[in-house]
Copies of this chain bind each other. A is one copy, B any other.
Amino acid sequence: MGVKERRTREKEQLRRQILSAARELFVNEGYESVSMRKIANKIEYSPTTIYLYFEDKADLLDSVCKETLLDLLNTLERLKEDTGDPVEALRESGRAYVEFGLKYPQDYKLTFVIRPQFQKGLGLQQGSVGERVFNYLRAMVSECIRQKAFRQVDVETTGQALWSAVHGVTLLLIDFSDFPWTEKDKLIDMVIDTMIDGLTA
């Protein structure tokens, strides 16, 4: 039965086509400014066809964000070099997180700001990619504490505090691009280093 498999493949292909058209438009014009008709035009299908592949516009956003989170997770996990210094590893991960956000500012905002607004109630489910990203952070913090590089702080709260800090600087740099920031990397380092200094015994 090669036919059914080909059909499945073709469906998957169109799904991906829709997804990549949606991402490009969302990123360039903003989620709200993109209409289903625009996406449909881009892929040269009728608007309603999209509804055969995605529940609605929010579901489309959801799928785009899931890809972004996977991309972020890959970026972070690629860093794992086992240098033996868990604090330095955490510092590098923090930098990589912010840089990821600044490299794909609109994707970052879609994932961490826009999406939560459009699907209240189910932001970070068990087993989701988002949870896996946070687990990565949790593991790094945990290692810092285990090796006594950090003072005896609560892993959970510490991880959340670190996330807060990097999330904050990422968003400010994206949203207030005309603010008279000091040199960008200096600020990023300041945020991360200050947090780590505060956690170091």
Q: Is residue A13 contacting chain B, with contact meaning CB distance below 8 A?
A: no
Rounded to whole angstroms, the CA-CA distance of A177 and B124 in the bound complex is: 10
A89 lies within 8 A of chain B by Cβ: no
Instruction: Tell me how many chains of this kind the complex includes.
Output: 2
Task: Give Cα A199–Cα B72 distance, bound, in whole angstroms.
Answer: 30
Count A-side interface residues using an 8 Å CB cutoff. 45
The answer to the question of A196 belonging to the interface, with a C-beta cut-off of 8 Å to chain B, is: yes
A78 to chain B, nearest CB (A): 24
Chain B nearest CB from A8 CB (Å) reads 34
The listed residue (B116, B166, B196) touching A176 by CB distance below 8 A is: B116
Q: Which residue of B lies closest to A159 (CB)?
A: B182
A24 in the interface, Cβ–Cβ < 8 Å?
A: no
Query: Which listed residue, B30, B122, B169, touches A117 by the CB 8 Å rule?
Result: B30
Q: Does A181 sit within 8 A of B, measured CB to CB?
A: yes
Among residues of B, the one whose C-beta sits closest to the C-beta of A158 is B190
Contact A124 B175 (CB under 8 A): no
